[in-house]
């Protein structure tokens, strides 16, 4: 095994154990770095210190000539850059040959949104005669009324909601805090949920501050909550419902009803 192959294996072990990345992400890194290592080997390069910026650039060009799409090239550069940063942090290499390289510009597409009729159909799917159905309807109303991400919803605690002045305080990426106003319907559902539904779901043996809790009385995982929402998407005939689709729909519908763009950006944390 060559020196570069050993270092790539060491890096993959690092992102598996230390970073805890998903299997799919690790496989993508492994695939990108394997192609990269083979290219360098064909140029008789193996020591990290001998890899130059031009050599990395030539590799990316060769991948582009092989009909690889711009998005795949950009991802490949991220894999290579993170690998070289790891080598720097571990004092294995003294320079990062990717430091001044920019990823290819990606073609931007306008995000898809749900129509108002689709949103209404989605919101009407949960069975309000059951506690779980009422909880799920409250979650959907909350997400549509606030534009919160799945990760932000599961982190919400009871104290983050002030229903007297209709706002939610949430914490986004990097722990950054933002205040988002809530609509009348979402506030009504939240009041009823907090008063009559959540106390029935809460287990004394598993007390939690989380606002929305599972049938077992515990906190939601990101995947667990998304499965709940996806189920109602299927019932409403929205086959490709994604977390971002709800956020984009929230923003688009606000814009269509006269909200100013800057305010929407602040609510979404853009």
Q: Is the pLDDT of residue 21 over 90?
A: no
Tell me, what's the pLDDT at 150?
84
When pLDDT is cut at 50, 70 and 90, the band that residue 134 belongs to is very high
For residues 218 and 229, give the distance between their C-alpha atoms in angstroms, rounded to a whole number.
18
Average pLDDT, the chain: 82
For residues 2 and 7, give the distance between their C-alpha atoms in angstroms, rounded to a whole number.
9
What average pLDDT score do residues 127-153 get?
89
Tell me, what's the pLDDT at 207?
75
Tokens of 108: 């931007």
For residues 195 and 191, give the distance between their C-alpha atoms in angstroms, rounded to a whole number.
6
What average pLDDT score do residues 182-207 get?
86
Tell me, what's the pLDDT at 65?
73
For residues 201 and 261, give the distance between their C-alpha atoms in angstroms, rounded to a whole number.
39
Tokens of 115: 């129509």
Q: Is the pLDDT of residue 135 over 90?
A: yes
**Percent over 70 (pLDDT), the chain:** 84
Tell me, what's the pLDDT at 262?
53
Tell me, what's the pLDDT at 261?
46
What average pLDDT score do residues 156-180 get?
82
pTM exceeds 0.75: no
Domains identified in the chain and CATH numbers: 3-89 (1.10.150.130), 116-268 (1.10.443.10)
Tell me, what's the pLDDT at 269?
46
For residues 264 and 199, give the distance between their C-alpha atoms in angstroms, rounded to a whole number.
33
Q: Is the pLDDT of residue 54 over 50?
A: yes
Total residue count of the chain as it appears in this document: 270
SS3 track for the chain: CCHHHHHHHHHHHHHHHCCCCCHHHHHHHHHHHHHHHHHHHHCCCCCHHHCCHHHHHHHHHHHHHCCCCHHHHHHHHHHHHHHHHHHHHCCCCCCCCCCCCCCCCCCCCCCCCCCHHHHHHHHCCCCCCCHHHHHHHHHHHHHHHHCCCHHHHHHCEHHHEECCCCEEEEECHHHCEEEEECCHHHHHHHHHHHHHHHHHHCCHHHCCCECCECCCCCECCHHHHHHHHHHHHHHCCCCCCCHHHHHHHHHHHHHHCCCCHHHHHHHHCC
Q: Which comes out higher in pLDDT, residue 181 or 263?
A: 181
Tell me, what's the pLDDT at 243?
67
Write out pLDDT tens, residues 205-258.
567 889 999 988 888 998 899 889 889 999 999 877 876 777 767 666 655 555
Tell me, what's the pLDDT at 67?
64
């Amino acid at each position: 095994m060559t020196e570069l192959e050993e270092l790539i294996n060491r890096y993959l072990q690092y992102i598996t154990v230390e970073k805890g990345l998903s299997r799919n992400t690790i496989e993508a890194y492994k695939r990108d770095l394997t192609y990269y290592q083979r290219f360098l080997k064909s140029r008789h390069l193996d020591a990290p210190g001998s890899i130059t910026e031009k050599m990395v650039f030539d590799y990316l060009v060769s991948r582009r000539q092989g009909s690889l799409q711009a998005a795949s090239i950009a991802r490949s550069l991220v894999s290579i850059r993170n690998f070289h940063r790891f080598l720097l942090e571990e004092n294995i290499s003294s320079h990062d040959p990717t430091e001044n390289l920019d990823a290819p510009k990606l073609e931007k597409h306008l995000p898809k949104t749900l129509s108002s009729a689709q949103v209404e159909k989605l919101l009407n799917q949960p069975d309000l005669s059951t506690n779980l159905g009422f909880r799920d309807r409250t979650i959907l109303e909350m997400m549509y009324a606030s534009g919160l991400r799945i990760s932000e919803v599961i982190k919400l605690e009871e104290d983050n909601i002030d229903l007297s002045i209709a706002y939610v305080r949430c914490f986004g990426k990097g722990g950054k805090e933002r205040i988002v106003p809530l609509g009348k319907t979402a506030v009504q559902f939240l009041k009823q949920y907090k008063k009559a539904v959540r106390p029935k779901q809460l287990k004394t043996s598993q007390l939690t501050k989380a606002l929305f809790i599972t049938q077992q009385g515990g906190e939601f995982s990101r995947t667990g909550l998304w499965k709940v929402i996806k189920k109602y998407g299927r019932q409403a005939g929205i086959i490709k419902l994604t977390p971002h689709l709800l956020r984009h729909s929230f923003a688009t519908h606000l814009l269509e009803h006269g909200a100013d763009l800057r305010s929407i950006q602040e609510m979404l944390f853009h």
